[in-house]
Structure 1
Amino acid sequence: MWKWEVDGQAKAVIAIMHGAYENHRWYAWLIEKLRLEGFHIVMGDLPNHGVNAKFSRVHDEDFQTYYKYTKHLIENAFSYNLPVFLIGHGLGATLLLQAMYKYKYECAGLILTSPWLNLKLLPGKLSNALTSLSALTANMKLTHAVHPNKLTRSVEGKEEMKDEVSFKSTVSVKWYRELQQMMRQLILMPKVEFPTIPVLLMTAEKDAISDSKQARHWLNQQDLSEFQYKEWANCYHNLFHEVEREEIFMYTRDFINNALRRIGYIIE
């Protein structure tokens, strides 16, 4: 777990959850932008991602390790005794939803980008309509063809995805079954179970990875007193790596500042 703190008094704390196959280094731009706006940042790498990947070439980790990590990350953010915002992307957004349903954290706001509630891009053998997930053995390996070219149109964004941590998107059938189970549970969860906190959900018009319609449907089913939905035209899956990310960042910043104003903070 890493922390980036502002000089002087922070306005709030923001915990960031990256997506599947990514690591925290991809978010250096977003972290610095938020820190310069007066927010402490807390972030780490999901189990078997980034510096935690060690020598593994396959994602076969138990999802319980993801749930424990998510809880640990959020509780680290709350340790500052400041308003807490959560930002989650892709699988990270889905894990935040799971944590909010279970623990009902009293966050100042939740920001979700391209959450995984239904996938358009399926792992290798599953792209064949004749292949049943139940027919595959748990330890069989599947290649999930998530490549930078499908994540962003931005040359700069793609460069930020290159680092010393190798990008691996091979998963076991067991891992994918757990992912499918989590997504189904969230879609079917009663709306009364979700806490009434401000939610900003942003999707990408040309997302080839996750289903934006399912994400919007989930939001519309919730009994929220305050929420925003924004679909960014022409954008790919990774919004904070896209050509329009400055505009996307300002939209996110305004949501956070407005949420702080509503709970009595004076934002300059």
Structure 2
Amino acid sequence: MYKKAKGVMSMWKWEAEGQPKATVVIVHNAYEHHRRYAWLIQRFRSDGFHVVTGDLPGHGKEGVKVHSETFKEYRRFIKRLIQTGLDGNLPVFLYGHGLGATFLLRLLQTEQVECAGIICSSPWLHLEHHPPLLAKMLTKLAHSMKLNHEMKPSLLSRNPAFLEQYEEDPLYVSLITAGWYRELELLMKSVVQKDSTIQDMPFLLHTGEADEITDPSYSYSWVQAQNLSELQYKRWKELYHDVMQEPEREEVYLYTRSFMNNVLRSLGYVIE
């Protein structure tokens, strides 16, 4: 069962099957939309987790030609997502993928967020896949100039079912403005600067060894430098950027569920 979150047009809450034990807030990657997470949402629900998620501003809408949203809009929306999760008076886990993970990390550097733990998959800390070089150079000349990040589904997953479903997805748009890309670069620099650390909480990081979008080694080095009290890191052999959309996604999910259940046990919850 799901329902639209009160007062927020593009936010939804899915209720757990049976007695809920926690809430998961999902922040999706750039260019995509929350419907890509239908399988993951159902897996969480069947294991006793409420799920709160939605489409980032400018995402998941018919007719969107280019992303030009400000990153402040994204931040406000994500804070509302988290608050909606907290309103249920259950432990809250934050799950961010790609750019969504980067937004969560920056938020945890700048504010105190009440949550039980965070799961990040393939955060955008050091991109390996960029818009064409010439176009990128020209971004210095025009804030509104359009760029194609050319982040095709075939770069995200090896899963034939995923590729068939989303190759022609009209809601998947990787066209951006030069101003948007400059904000992205500033965000990544802010997160990785040496004097910025996230608040200490249980942290699980997933990366794909065959990721061509980001550098897994960079993400690993960054999280190691955070000196967290509880850190789990899993680098999945042969997996691409979208670890939860890969043929091995069940293994990735079970690893994630184990992490969450262990955190809940440490908080005094009885997990069967």
TM bucket by the smaller chain? Answer: over 0.9
2:33–2:172: 8 Å Cα contact kept in structure 1? no
Q: Taking structure 1 as the reference length, what is the TM-score of the superposition?
A: 0.93
Q: How much has 1:164 moved relative to structure 2?
A: 6.0
How much does 1:134 deviate?
6.0
Over aligned residue pairs, what C-alpha RMSD do you find? 1.6
Of 84, 108, 111, which residue of structure 2 is paired with 1:100?
108
Residue among 1, 11, 34 paired with 2:21: 11
Q: Normalising by structure 2, what TM-score?
A: 0.92
Q: 4+ residue runs of structure 1 moved beyond 6 angstroms?
A: none
Q: Secondary structure at the match of 2:75?
A: helix
CA contact (8 A) 2:101 2:121 kept: yes
Query: 1: CA distance between counterparts of 2:205 and 2:74?
Result: 22
The offset of 1:133, in angstroms, is 6.1
Identify the match of residue 145 of structure 1 among 123, 147, 150.
Answer: 150
Residue segments in structure 1 that go unaligned for 5+ positions in a row: none
Tell me the alpha carbon deviations over residues 27-85 of structure 1, each in whole angstroms, 9 at most, x when there is no partner: 0000000000000000000010003xx53300111111011011111111100010000
Structure 1 residue matching 2:179: 3-state secondary structure:
helix
Q: 1:118 aligns with which of 126, 135, 142?
A: 126
Partner of 1:265: 269
Q: Which residue of 2 aligns with 1:158?
A: 163
Q: Structure 2: which amino acid aligns with 1:239?
A: V
Are 1:199 and 2:203 counterparts? yes
Instruction: Name the amino acid aligned to 2:23.
Output: V
Alignment match, 2:239: 235
Distance in 1, Cα, partners of 2:134 & 2:213:
14
Distance (Å, rounded) in 1 between the aligned partners of 2:17 and 2:256? 22
Among 53, 63, 77, the alignment partner of 1:55 is 63
Q: Match for 2:193 among 177, 188, 213? A: 188
Q: Which residue, 33, 40, 52 being the options, matches 2:43?
A: 33
Whichever residue aligns with residue 60 of structure 2, its letter is: G
Unaligned runs of 5+ in 2: 1-10
Shift of 1:24: 0.6
Of residues 39, 54, 69, the one that matches 1:44 is: 54
Asked if the contact 1:208–1:237 (Cα under 8 Å) also holds between the matched residues in 2, the reply is: yes
1:254 and 2:258 correspond: yes
**Offset of 1:159 from its aligned partner?**
3.6
Mark the CA change 1:17 to 1:126 in structure 2 (over 3 Å): closer, same or farther.
farther
Matches of 2:137 and 2:23, distance apart in 1:
43
Query: Which stretch shows the higher mean deviation, 132-141 or 237-246?
Result: 132-141
Within 2, Cα distance between the matches of 1:104 and 1:189?
19
Give the superposition deviation at 1:136.
Answer: 3.3
What is the distance in 1 between the residues matched to 2:152 and 2:173? 10
- 1:89 maps onto 2:97 in alignment: yes
| Structure 1 residues 194-247: Cα deviation after superposition (integer angstroms, max 9, x where no partner) | 211000001000101112122111101102110011100000000010011010
Q: What's the counterpart of residue 184 of structure 2?
A: 179
Residues 211 and 241 in structure 2, CA contact (< 8 A), matched pair in contact too: yes
Relative to 1, partners in 2 of residues 1:126 and 1:28: Cα closer, same or farther, differing over 3 Å? farther
Match of 2:5 in 1: none
Distance 1:79 1:189, change over 3 A: farther
For the 8 Å contact 1:104–1:194, the answer to whether it is kept is no
> What residue is the counterpart of 2:6 in the other structure?
none
Partner of 2:82: 74
Distance of aligned partners of 1:72 and 1:189 in 2 relative to their CA distance in 1, 3 Å threshold? farther
- SS of 1:200's equivalent? strand
Contact 1:5 1:41 in 2 (8 A): yes
| Native 8 Å contact 1:125 1:142 kept in 2 | no
Tell me if structure 1 keeps the 8 A contact 2:139–2:179: no
